[in-house]
Chains A and B, each alone.
Chain A
Amino acid sequence: DIQMTQSPASLSASPEEIVTITCQASQDIGNWLAWYQQKPGKSPQLLIYSTTSLADGIPSRFSGSRSGTQYSLKISRLQIEDTGIYYCLQRYSNPWTFGGGTKLELK
């Protein structure tokens, strides 16, 4: 099974700051990587798919990138509503596997 190691587990940042969350895949997954945001008490929402493609209705402050088997989600100009838990997901090889999550808090 492909392991997705996500870091950091949690972070705290101020509005307007830039943060980056990373996922390290245990093997090559190409661009079969997505990012989700889960706000407290809500269902996850797709942010980024195919490593870099922005999902419908998602602000351009969110962006995805890749370096080898390391994948990153960058959030620019943090807003209060960005609070939540972020997960990566690999859809390259079954079983599909999520990262452990990153809890983002705004100061």
Chain B
Amino acid sequence: EVQLVESGGGLVQPGRSLRLSCLASGFTFSNYGMNWIRQAPGKGLEWVASISSSSSYIYYADTVKGRFTISRDNAKNTLYLQMTSLRSEDTALYYCARDPMFDYWGQGVMVTVSS
């Protein structure tokens, strides 16, 4: 059974940093591209970042480019999102999702940016 489990969220002050993790199981993690998608409270879905299976290709939404870094450790079956210079508008539920076409999603992890 494919499982994606996010962790690392919480309450953080504006300007600070946070690292999210997504632990994958039930499939060969190193064969799949992965993504982070977020959903602000009561709002729709927003794609944040993508990384290819071997980390050769990485893409970011303009809203996070230069502040967020997506990475992965295929030996640990784990996807990461390093978030720096956090802003109140980054407050959201963050999901990891598998390529292609986001066919599996985690349960999400909440990030709240507030003083």
Contact = CB atoms under 8 A, between A and B. Distances in A.
Interface of A: 34, 36, 38, 43-46, 49-50, 55, 85, 87, 89, 91, 94-101
24 contacts: A34-B102, A36-B102, A38-B45, A43-B106, A43-B107, A43-B108, A44-B105, A45-B105, A46-B101, A46-B103, A46-B104, A49-B100, A55-B103, A85-B44, A87-B45, A89-B102, A91-B100, A91-B101, A95-B59, A95-B61, A95-B62, A96-B50, A97-B47, A101-B45
A34 B62 CA distance: 22
Interface string B48-87: 0010000000010110000000000000000000000000
Interface string B94-115: 0100001111111110000000
Looking at chain B's contact residues, is the secondary structure mostly helix, strand, loop, or mixed? loop
B89 interface: no
Contacts, number: 50
Contacts of B103: 46, 49, 55
A5 to B, nearest CB: 12
Contact of B44 (A34, A46, A91, A98): A98
A94 B59 contact: yes
A23 B2 CA distance: 29
A37 to B, nearest CB: 11
Contact of A49 (B101, B104, B106): B101
Contact of A98 (B46, B104, B106): B46
Contacts of A89: 45, 47, 101-102
Q: Closest 3 A-B residue pairs measured CB to CB? A: A43-B105, A49-B101, A96-B47
